[in-house]
Amino acid sequence: MEDSYVLQIKDRQFSELYLCFCGYAKCGAGHSFGPAVRPNYIIHYILEGRGSYTVDGVRYELEAGQGFLIEPRRQTFYQADESEPWSYLWVGFDGKRAEEYLKGMGLGENRLIYRCSHGSQLKETVLKMLRHNTYTASDQFILEGLLYSFFGVLSEDMDILSASEKNTGSLYVKKAVEFIQNNYCNPIHITDIADYVCINRSYLYTLFQKELGVSPQDYLSNYRLTQASELLVITDISIESVAFSCGYSDPLVFSKAFKAKYGTTPSRYRRRDQEEQRENLKRNEAKLREL
């Protein structure tokens, strides 16, 4: 079930960018739309609650403060969460330069999810659109201006990429690496990382290979194991606790991965380090006696 307010534009006087429709909806638990293929672009912004967006088989879990782009001729499906159903607004548009303007904001085929903290301004803009529903010539010009205002509000707070960042994807990789370093201790997956930086998994993989020469999964695993090796040296917590502290829910999986990287088990790695420390201590004591 959906409680919605919608404005459908009948006549269009503009060609470069024009409004097709807009609306606001408060969805019931599990309410969904699709699978469907649209003839124009649609930008949704989530005001409250949670839900999921699926495009070409790739699923994104979204919440208030995020939004998603629907592109023409791509199959999409979106659904409100069962326990926290979302409320959202949307703007449908098209035009000769629509794709160009979206790319200018960093949105497009490889980035369909975004974040924006100006939700109240976006809502007010759409509410103004809904009030101009008499289809007069004046309304046409006002709606055109409000559409550009909507784009302007989005551009203020979205992660706008510089020309070099668009070419290299370095900003996405930087944000992904920061997310890994801050959350490796939790049982995160590559999907979580991709959702955080608002791109799909396959594009994230391509960027990591290009920028770092490794896959996101390999980077995450190596970072976890590096942190684990330090915990083994500087603490005396159990191997199981080390595993849990580095994002592994199964100590056996951790031990197997650790041995594959370091050529020895976590317990032997710890003993070897302790033995090396004792040997270093003996050498230092011997040198001190010589002084």
Residue 59: per-residue pLDDT? 83
Kindly state whether residues 126 and 34 are assigned to the same domain. yes
Residues 130, 182, single domain; the answer is no
Q: In whole angstroms, what is the distance from residue 235 CA to residue 23 CA?
A: 57
Residue 173, classified by CB atoms within 10 Å of its CB into exposed (0-12), middle (13-18) or buried (19+), is: buried
At 165 the pLDDT is 46
Shared-domain flag, residues 48 and 79: yes
284 pLDDT higher than 70: no
pLDDT of residue 166 exceeding 80: no
Q: Say yes or no to pLDDT of 84 above 70.
A: yes
- Does residue 183 share a domain with residue 128? no
Whether residue 182 is predicted with pLDDT greater than 60 in this model: the reply is yes
Instruction: Note whether 216 and 204 are within 8 A (CB).
Output: yes
User: Does one domain contain both 123 and 181?
Assistant: no
Q: Would residue 288 count as lying in a domain? A: no
**pTM of the entire predicted model:** 0.61
137 and 230 in a common domain: no
Residue 258 and residue 186 share a domain = yes
Roughly what angle, to the nearest 10 degrees, separates helices 201-211 and 216-234?
70
Confidence tier at 136 by pLDDT (50, 70, 90): confident
Q: Provide the mean pLDDT of the chain.
A: 85
* Total domains present in the chain: 2
pLDDT at 217 over 90: yes
Which pLDDT score is estimated for 282? 54
Per-residue pLDDT tens over the stretch 236-245: 899 999 999 9
Could you list the residue range(s) of the whole structural domain that residue 99 is in? 2-160
Question: What's 188's domain CATH number?
Answer: 1.10.10.60
